[in-house]
Copies of this chain bind each other. A is one copy, B any other.
């Protein structure tokens, strides 16, 4: 996964501003509805002018929040009008009253918008086990709708945050001859330590014309190579949700084979970029770490090894400290279940080879320390067991992480 901000886009694509409202046919907003004690924004809306096709993918946790279960069911329609997201309260482990609360919120929004309740998708993030302050939230719905606009995308991106430090939003414009479409998105992050239970939420909008089943298939495919390649295990929280909405307003249809290709590439790029932003904003993270495993016997082993190294608290604290205690990388690789001969093991930090033929070799420690001080560090683990490779993106583990997660109130 690429993680440099300046990475090469095809000539047909360019980054634009606008987040979830970059695509035509959408407005957004975020307000403070008093869910968070901090009074920070905690209620977000993404609203389509007309019903749009919609798809979603969700957590695989056995414990799923009320909004997840409701949205799953509503997406069977394949058509939606609005996404309502609150932060500060996950509405999970709230039993049957949690369902009623979530439905009441949706009903209030539906009534204000004069649309069917079933066209509203819901997501929540925050503390588990606490009820939503429904009537307080409902009192803010008219304000949320009235001031929604195509310039309020950052307000929406801010209102979905929990322990994240900054809003995360991206948008791409794709021009193919005289045709043009846009894809934008926003996301909220994550604890960046595995197995992470911090919720990952993402809303993607496009003005391309795309069927719901098509959107869902692409989301599922690209999640594997984007959100599921960051050490936040996307399927671990009780509330993880990725929505995609397509207005078709650009007139560009993904049923056209060429346009499909461009759309898929752009969607993947948007998801990739959002995944990188999630890692960069990981709790207490000061730098990125990409773990790239090559020469593995099969793809499963390559991924298992990349995850094991990327998730190792000892590797992550090593990165925070800047001291190349490279044995920790080898030990994590050896514990991953990947099969390799120790004599074939090679490990690199940036361009520097630090382990060769299964032994730590002489390397310029000052130079490697310098590499480890960069904003982004690539750790390579090379076997000679096959031709498979995988990479996982992670970040360092600082004392700040513990501070944030210890003090996050229930």
The residues in A between 27 and 86 inclusive whose CB is less than 8 angstroms from any CB of B are: 61-64
Stretch at the interface among A253-261, A270-278, A399-407: A399-407
The answer, yes or no, to whether A325 is at the interface (CB within 8 Å) is: yes
CB contact between A355 and one of B93, B321, B345 (< 8 Å): that residue? B93
The answer, yes or no, to whether A371 is at the interface (CB within 8 Å) is: no
The answer, yes or no, to whether A197 is at the interface (CB within 8 Å) is: yes
* Proximity string of chain A (332-344) to chain B, C-beta cutoff 8 Å, 1 when within and 0 when not: 1111001110100
Contacts of A342 in B (CB 8 A): 62-64
A345 to B94, CA, bound (A): 12
The residues in A between 93 and 120 inclusive whose CB is less than 8 angstroms from any CB of B are: 93-95, 97-98
Contacts of A195 in B (CB 8 A): 308, 311-312, 332, 335
Q: Is the CB of A236 within 8 A of B129?
A: no
A334 to B60, CA, bound (A): 9
The residues in A between 209 and 252 inclusive whose CB is less than 8 angstroms from any CB of B are: 233, 235-238
The residues in A between 390 and 410 inclusive whose CB is less than 8 angstroms from any CB of B are: 397-399, 401-403, 405-410
Q: Which residue of B lies closest to A405 (CB)?
A: B317
A308 to B233, CA, bound (A): 13
CB proximity of A284 to chain B, nearest CB, Å: 9
8 cross-chain pairs, A with B, having the tightest CB-CB distances, nearest first: A128-B327, A129-B360, A95-B359, A63-B334, A325-B410, A321-B406, A62-B334, A317-B405
Contacts of A407 in B (CB 8 A): 321
Q: Is the CB of B312 within 8 A of A93?
A: no
The residues in A between 137 and 196 inclusive whose CB is less than 8 angstroms from any CB of B are: 191, 193, 195-196
A387 to B77, CA, bound (A): 41
| New A-B pairs, 5, CB < 8 Å, besides A198-B314, A399-B402 | A93-B358, A191-B314, A195-B335, A237-B331, A323-B410
